[in-house]
């Protein structure tokens, strides 16, 4: 069984930065593709970013490209999401997810394990 625990959320102003962390336990972290998703009130959970097992391949949703960076430290069993130039529309609960199959996916249905989420609120 895989456990994922997110941290680092909070309330910030537009233009500020935040770094989210997600620590995994239970299985070999480096065998999982990792992703970040978010869900705003009344909306579907949406893809934000994903990273391959080695960290060499990343993908982002268009609205965060150039502002967010996903990275991982396999020695620390942790994936990160650095969020710069935050906007009010980035306000959501952010979820970390792990995927055991060996290709990049932006579809939440393809992820096997999920964290409990961390709230990010950006005020204008």
Model confidence over 3-35: pLDDT tens digits? Answer: 999 999 999 999 999 999 999 998 799 999 999
Cβ–Cβ contacts within 10 Å for residue 15, how many? 11
Higher pLDDT, 96 or 101: 96
pLDDT of residue 23: 97
- On the question of pLDDT at 102 being above 90, the answer is no
C-alpha 48 chain-centroid distance: 7
- The secondary structure of residue 15, as a DSSP letter, is T
pLDDT of residue 120: 98
- The secondary structure of residue 31, as a DSSP letter, is G
Question: DSSP letters along 53-110, please?
Answer: SSS--EEE-GGGTTTEEEEEETTTTEEEEEE-S--GGG-EEEEEEEE-SSS----GGG
Model confidence over 50-90: pLDDT tens digits? Answer: 999 999 999 999 999 999 999 999 999 999 999 999 999 99
pLDDT of residue 27: 79
Q: Please give the angle made by the CA atoms of 96, 92 and 50, to the nearest 5 degrees.
A: 35
Higher pLDDT, 1 or 106: 106
What confidence category does residue 101 fall into, taking pLDDT thresholds of 50, 70 and 90? confident
Q: How far apart (Å, rounded) are the C-alpha atoms in residues 3 and 51?
A: 18
pLDDT of residue 116: 97
pLDDT of residue 1: 84
Higher pLDDT, 113 or 1: 113
């Amino acid at each position: 069984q895989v456990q994922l625990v997110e941290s680092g959320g909070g309330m910030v102003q537009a233009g500020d930065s935040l770094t989210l962390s997600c620590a995994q336990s239970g299985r070999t972290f480096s065998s999982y593709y990792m992703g970040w998703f978010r869900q705003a009130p009344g909306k579907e959970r949406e893809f934000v970013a994903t990273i391959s097992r080695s960290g060499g391949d990343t993908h982002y949703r268009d609205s965060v490209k150039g502002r967010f960076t996903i990275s991982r430290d396999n020695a620390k069993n942790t994936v990160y999401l650095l969020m710069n130039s935050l906007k009010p529309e980035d306000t959501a609960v952010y979820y970390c997810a792990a995927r055991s199959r060996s290709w990049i996916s932006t579809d939440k249905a393809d992820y096997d394990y999920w964290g409990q989420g961390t709230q990010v609120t950006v005020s204008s």
